Structure 1
Amino acid sequence: MRIDFTKMHGLGNDFVVLDGRTGALPPIDAAFAAALADRHTGIGCDQLIVLAPSDLGDFQMLIFNADGSQVEACGNATRAVGLLHGRPATIETLGGIVSTTPTDTGISVEMGKPRFGWQDIPLGYAMDTHAMPVAWEELVNPIAVNVGNPHAIFFVEDPYRIDMARLGPLVENDPIFPERVNVNVAAVTARDAITLRVWERGAGLTRACGTGACATAIGAMKRGLVDRKVTVTLPGGPLTIEWRGDDVIVMTGPATESFRGSFETADYGIPDKVPA
């Protein structure tokens, strides 16, 4: 069975998109996702994105990290899928319904409302999520935010002086985060500007993370460090994040199609037919 794919990226955070909205796809499991994501023996990507029909939105988006784990939300992938769709859409995700709108400057995504309760992150036990009383060496007192997926945000003097390759996995896999966590280190540089690096659970250090930009902006706003609309600059480039008066987060930024291709399912150990 031959499957078409589209390779896309949002500020360098890259995806392989499989479109099953009009034709059936073979079963997608963790092993298949990891095989496609492998940059040496597969197509290569940070996340595999699978589109499917939905009763709740225009279509459903399923997200698999490079290690095969499935996650609830991905802001950069949502912009990429919005570009692929080419018109306004409501998209069902495991983290809730999001909506996309093409704009003159890219794709605007309504990401929903942030959650701050310790059960919503989730954490292993009750504590103040505004300034968690925990530390991992120089990373101290993060604010925890769920924007469809869980994030811990550390405000530091210089994100590029933090050894994310070492500290990122320590925080991500700490038992205090039973579903693991995305790790954000950020510096506020003005009332409307933040510099950010993200260690993404299941993917590692990434050039951009849309939900990380949203969570970090909201965390800075909650602490009174910035205004309600900011530019978050990641290694891959900037995103605009606004926290509207109705509590909905709006992320705006670019998305790019890189190329299209196809592959044989048998090359990845997948049955050569779809379920009846």
Structure 2
Amino acid sequence: MPKSRGMRIPFRKMHGLGNDFVVIDAREAAVSMTAARAAALADRRTGIGCDQLIVLEPSDVADVRMRIFNNDGSEVEACGNASRAVGLLLGGTQFIETLGGLIRSEARPDGVSVDMGAPRLRWDEIPVSYAMDTLEMPVGWEDLENPVGVNVGNPHVIFFVDDADAVDLARLGPLIENDPLFPERINVNVASVVGPDHLKLRVWERGAGLTRACGTGACATAVAAIRRKLTGRKVRIDLPGGPLTITWPEGGTIDMTGPATLSFEGAFEDSDFPA
């Protein structure tokens, strides 16, 4: 006897500079999401495949609530590229509730701009496990030393190096991500200065691994470079997937501008990926 089919759940496949997402709109019809289900949907061999799974839900404080699941199933606070994708999907100006706080997106002809809020810079806001200076953190892993700590809704450390491409981030990334110094784990960024107000960046993303683009990583790296006086307050960040423009005015919030793309639409059977 053929298996009984369940409810079909529509989704959109989107990406921002190659950082790709499965977006499920659950504002009108609730969709149950667990870590196991998110990981199964994100699997590139047996699921739909993505870096992050995004679930849109109703919000009492914003236009929409955005839940973000990494491809290992962990739910995280923020994702800059996903914020642009959701901003493109919804259009116009939208306020988006996330675990990392309230953000604002604006779809424009030159891309999607997202106000990511103010960075958090104290050691207990990153967080790290004991008090230290977050501008010159007195820690290191092999040749990666003295990073900057920044929280932009999720936690980051940024290492400035001569050549970001030369760093074995696939090996060092998970080592740093899971170090006991970081009680909530950490996103690992390696950046090099290309020119005035121009940086090159590679990111090991917490719970997702090496990524073609990380919007929050670009924001955190721009803040770190500005704090260290390596750049001015408007910075071009070149990632493997393409460039983002980050602006952080003195005393203000971080603005990130870049592209987002709808790749295709589809649906899956609810019973094929049980919650």
Band of TM-score, shorter chain: over 0.9
Give how far 1:19 is off: 0.2
- Per-residue CA deviations over 1:28-66 (Å, capped at 9, x if unaligned) read 000000000000000000000000000110010000000
TM-superposed CA distance for 1:250, in Å, is 0.0
Deviation of residue 97 (structure 1)?
0.3
Alignment of 1:90-129 (within 5 A): 90-129=95-134
Aligned positions of 1:1-276 closer than 5 A = 1-25=7-31, 27-270=32-275
Partner of 2:3: none
Distance across 2 between alignment mates of 1:230 and 1:173: 29
Structure 1 length normalisation: TM-score? 0.96
SS at match of 1:213: helix
Report what 1:273 is aligned to.
none
TM norm structure 2: 0.97
Aligned residues: 269
**Equivalents in 2 of 1:62, 1:74: separation in Å?**
10
8 Å Cα contact 1:114-1:247 kept in structure 2: no
Counterpart-to-counterpart distance in 1, 2:30 and 2:76: 22
Structure 2 regions of 5+ residues with no counterpart? Answer: 1-6
Aligned-CA RMSD value? 0.7
* 1:102 to partner: Cα distance: 1.1
Give the residue type in structure 2 aligned to 1:199: W
Structure 1 residue runs of 5 or longer lacking an equivalent are: 271-276
* One-letter amino acid of the counterpart of residue 26, structure 2: G
For 1:16, the aligned partner's letter is V
Structure 2 distance, partners of 1:246, 1:58, is 26
Contact 1:95 1:148 (8 Å CA) reproduced: yes
Shift of 1:87: 1.4
Compute the displacement of 1:246 (Å): 3.8
The alpha-carbon deviation at position 105 of structure 1 amounts to 1.1
Q: Distance in 1 between matches of 2:212 and 2:194?
A: 19
Runs of 4+ in structure 1 off by over 3 angstroms are: none
